[in-house]
Amino acid sequence: MFVFLSRRLLFLVATLLVVSFLVYLLNEAAPGDVARKILGPYATLEQIALLTEELGLNRSVFIRYGEWLGGLFTGDLGYSTLFKAPVGEIIWDRLANTALLAVIAFALIVPLSIVLGVAAGMRESAALDRSISLASIITTSIPEFASGVFLASIFAIWLGWLPGTSTLVRDGGWSITSQLVLPVAVMVLYDLGYVVRMVRASMADVMREPYIRTAVLKGLSWPEVVFRHALRNALIAPFTVILLQINYLVTGVVVVEMIFAYPGFGRMMLEAALAQDIALIEAGVVVAVFIAVSTQILGDLAYMILNPRVRLR
């Protein structure tokens, strides 16, 4: 157990180092002058030379990477040229905003998908299964930008119940809570169907297993069969998929954040990329990779707890 965890953590660190170095290399050693990228096309040659000197850009990329890495540990993430502020001041703020969306959406997606997936999968091809499966295909196949615009038209423009933008600023009289409703709804609608289908497929497989027949022929009631015997087995396979959703919810919701002008992490990364804000991109990528790898470790741990047959190596 201890060996397993330390091995995984080591793997996490190694992944972070490799990815951060690659991103650093791509940004800083790619063709084109870093100083030019930072200052933009209208800077004079003198200004560029000055900045190159100031940032030490004519030194080896390894030395600069080492310095940057050292900065990471001391909390100095560099200076964002886009926001004209230290990266540390922006990134945690944005990450917190996104985490707020993600936590609410995740808290809705997990129980809903388990309930709907189990309900659909416990009796394959029954009316309930067919309606849940159809509904989840439909919601998953509508892209976020479509459902976002659609929901905003109904609830913000037509009915006027909710704000059309979610800037997290209390202007126009909309509470923060009301600003969160539409973005969360779009994310849940889009993601839920996918997870429901995963849980349903796994549940349907489990219900075909001989041990379910054993439970039925023991004379257990239907709820006992489903909850005592099927549920835990049915959750083993989709669990990894469910945890992967954290990834999507944190780093993949650019579209939702753009539609609702939400000051989140994804939008920040997009803006940073467009403005060639190198320090911000580098720090953002490290954060994203950290989230991805740590959810995987979490997934492995949960898998082990759910499935007694797993032997960890």
Partner 1 sequence: MTSEPSRAGAPSVLVFDEARISYRTRADELNVVPGFSLSIGRGEAVGLVGESGSGKSTLAFAAMGYLGHAGRLVSGRILFEGEDMAGLSAGELRALRGLRMAMVYQDPMSSLNPVMKAGAQLMEVPMRRLGLGRDEARERALAMLAEVEFADPASILERYPHQLSGGQQQRVVIAMALMSEPALLILDEPTTGLDVTVEAAVLDLIGALRHCHDSAILFISHNLGTVARVSDRIAVLYAGELVEEAPAGELFEAPRHPYTRALFNCLPGLARHAAIEGDPPSPGARPEGCAFAPRCAFAKPGPCTSEPIALRASGERRVRCVRLPELAPWTLPVPAATTARAEPPTDRILDVSKLTKAYRVGSPLFGLGEGSRRVQALDGVSLWAGRGETLAIVGESGSGKSTLAGIVAGLELGAEGVVRLNGVPVQHLKVEHRPEALRRGVQIVFQNPDGTLNPSHRVGYALARALRRLAGVERRRLPAEVARLLDLVRLPRAYAARKPRQLSGGEKQRVAIARALAGAPDLLIADEPVSALDLSVQAAIVNLLSELQEARGMTLLFISHDLALVRYLADRVAVMYRGRVMEFGPADEVFSPPFHPYTLTLLSSVTARAEGQSEGAGEGPEGATLAVGCPFHHRCPYKLGSICRDETPPSREAGAEHRIACHIPLGELAAIGASSEEHGEENRDAP
Binding site for partner 1 (CB under 8 A): 1, 3-4, 209-211, 213-221, 224, 228-229, 232-233, 236, 306-309, 311-313
Query: Between 17 and 312, whose beta carbon lies closer to partner 1?
Result: 312
CA distances from 16 to 21, 71, 73, 288, 307 (A): 8, 15, 13, 10, 29
- Sign, CA dihedral 32-36-40-44, equals negative
Under a CB-based contact definition with an 8 Å cutoff, are residues 24 and 68 in contact? yes
CA distance 42 to 39: 8
Tokens representing 112? 């809903």
The residue among 188, 165, 152, 156 whose CA lies nearest residue 260 is: 165
Residue bearing tokens 């067919």: 130
Rounded to 10 deg, the angle between the 176-207 and 231-251 helix axes is 140
Tokens representing 43? 């800077």
Alpha carbon 172 to chain centroid distance? 30
CB of 231 to partner 1, least distance (A): 10
CB of 249 to partner 1, least distance (A): 28
CA distance 152 to 172: 16
Helix (H, G, I), strand (E, B) or coil at 85: strand
CA distance 264 to 93: 8
Q: Are strands 79-80 and 85-86 parallel, antiparallel or unpaired?
A: antiparallel
Residue 229 DSSP label: I
- Please name the residues in contact with 100: beta carbons below 8 A apart, sequence gap of 6 or more: 180
